[in-house]
Chain A
Amino acid sequence: MQRIYDIGTVFWRDWVVLRHRLTAFILSRMVAPLLYLVAFGWGLGRSIQTGAGGSYLDFLVPGILALNSMNISFNSVTPVHAERVYHKSIEEYMIAPIWPPAFVIGKVLAAVLRGMISSAIILVLAYFFGAHFAVTPLFLLILVLNCAVFAEIGFIAAMFIRTYEEMGQVNTYILLPMSFLCGTFFSTHTLPDALRWFIEILPLTHTSYLLRGLGSGVPVASGSVVVLLLYLVVGFAIGCRAFIRLRR
């Protein structure tokens, strides 16, 4: 019970910060999806034929959901880097009698919340733009899973990275290529085999496939769920270890 309370405390802090800026957060989260939907959905997308018979907009929306939830959840946790390196406010948690994994879980849950608010905005916008897809409980669960996986990756980065510049490099060299290559804007089947195999190891590819399949009512491979769960478990273990090892 105490452990749940500790998770709640860490989550409470992030919720208070989000509440201070909720309007600004919601408005800012609308910009990128709107641009994607206008540019790729209405603009470029009208001249693109998809093999499945649906519109490119229907194909695109799950990809945008995947990449947006990845970016939002990752970037929601990375301020922990400033708490560790610059403000040292992370020491308040290290000194406190809390269950150490509670810090990781609380931060990840807060990032999931931000990722899901952002996803909800995209869903509303996508329906407004005329996209057709089904939002099932499993669809939402995959979104949550995707947010959690990338929040953990953001947490691990925040534990090890020394400067803001290095954090920018993680965005440039990891998140940005994944945003474009992991089945978000086009199917990975069009990629050369060697690149495709590599891309298909990455978690965002599995999220894109799962969301696209579930959204259009096509059966999905349960293996992709297993891959995401594997990332979740490994990410949690590394995140907890990194937080505990700050004491060294």
Chain B
Amino acid sequence: MIRVENLVKKFLHKNAAGKTVEKTAVDGISLHIGPGEIFGLLGPNGAGKTTTIRMLTMLTQPTSGEIYYAGQPLAGHEAAMKQLIGVVPQNLNFDQDLTVGENLELHARLYHMEREDRASRIAELLHYVELEDVTHDSVRQLSGGMKRRLLIARALLHRPRILFLDEPTVALDPQVRRRIWELIRRMGRDGVTVLITTHYIEEAEALCDRVAVMSHGHLLAVDAPETLIHRVGAFAVEWETDGSRDYRLFSARQEAMAFAAGLTGSTSVRKANLEDVFVELTGRKEGL
């Protein structure tokens, strides 16, 4: 459904010395995401996830590389491809001067939806995200969680076949986050291809059929979460050294248990997770 080949984005920016230099935000990534798949782009802040999504959604011009949707190249077919995609941006980019309903109406008009379809689809989506009671309220009055759900409703309004979600649960409490996860799972069940960026490991683990780990503009690994975990080791032994936690990964429980038995002090054996994969691949824990 989505195919990306050697996508590159370079920016000019000022370095610490005040000199304008070229910075590579995305460095030749290639991806293939199948229809109906929920695909996670995982990485710390500054990894290049948002820049990748901005290129895929035509908000930023790639420096080089090719993007294909449903087998068609994006270049030269932008208007048609824009009808295929829906975008849930990281920032709450509603029109602050419009009500909830008017924001959705604007979106429906921008996507050339038929007049008779607009009202029923808006009502259907507001019901889908449980916001039907706030149709006539200003978007300024909504809570953070309601705004996030409204972003999802807006992105789905024109029935996109591909949905991009950029950090959809950032700064939300766990209850609201789980509600949004359920919405995303429903989209996957409805056959929508979903590409989600997140720096929450548990979010990627809970939602994604496959994940790509991204760091410094590169894709370090792409696979199903379970496969990636088994690639680095199925079990982890954690212990304390000089006041900080250290860990080591093992492919078998017996090996992990044997290693733990030889340690002194506080130790634990647990199943490896995607966070271990991330740390192994990127060598950093910050930003998680």
Contact = CB atoms under 8 A, between A and B. Distances in A.
A9 B109 contact: yes
Given A91-B59, A94-B59, A2 B109 contact: no
B58 A247 contact: yes
A96 interface: yes
Contact of A95 (B57, B61, B80, B112): B57
A92 B112 contact: no
Interface string B43-71: 00000000000000111110000000000
A218 B93 CA distance: 51
A97 B96 contact: no
A244 B192 CA distance: 29
Interface in A92-121: 92-98
Contacts of A89: 93-96
A12 B105 CA distance: 10
A248 B25 CA distance: 13
Contacts of A91: 59, 89, 93
Contacts of B59: 91, 94-95, 247
Nearest to B108: A9
A162 interface: no
A88 B98 contact: no
B21 interface: no
B88 to A, nearest CB: 11
A88 B95 CA distance: 9
Contacts of B258: none
Contacts of B16: none
A134 B106 CA distance: 40
B268 interface: no
Nearest to A88: B93
A17 B82 contact: no
A237 B277 CA distance: 51
B109 A12 contact: yes
Contact of A248 (B61, B78, B98, B111): B61
B6 interface: no
B87 A247 contact: no
Given A17-B97, A97-B83, A92 B110 contact: yes
Of the four ranges (under 10, 10 to 19, 20 to 34, 35 or more), the interface on chain B belongs to: 20 to 34
A113 B269 CA distance: 70
Contacts of A17: 97-98
Nearest to B154: A92
B95 A87 contact: yes
A96 B95 contact: no
A13 interface: yes
Given A9-B106, A91-B59, A95-B57, A16 B98 contact: yes
Given A91-B59, A91-B93, A92-B93, 10 more contacts: A13-B95, A87-B94, A89-B94, A92-B107, A95-B58, A95-B82, A97-B80, A97-B83, A97-B110, A247-B58
A155 to B, nearest CB: 17
Contacts of A6: 110
- Give the most central of A5, A17, A92: most B CB within 10 Å: A92
Interface of B: 57-61, 78-80, 82-83, 85, 87, 89, 91, 93-98, 102, 106-107, 109-112
A120 to B, nearest CB: 23
6 contacts: A9-B109, A91-B89, A95-B87, A97-B80, A97-B111, A247-B60
Nearest to A245: B61
A187 B107 CA distance: 49
A93 B103 CA distance: 12
B227 to A, nearest CB: 33
B60 A248 contact: yes
Nearest to A9: B109
A20 interface: yes
A88 B90 CA distance: 10
B109 A92 contact: no
Nearest to A97: B82
Interface in A189-235: none
A13 B98 contact: yes
A83 B59 CA distance: 15
**3 tightest Cβ-Cβ pairs between the two chains A and B:** A96-B110, A97-B82, A88-B93
A83 B60 CA distance: 17
A98 B110 contact: yes
A93 B58 CA distance: 11
Contacts of A13: 95, 98, 106
A194 B80 CA distance: 54
A16 B61 CA distance: 32
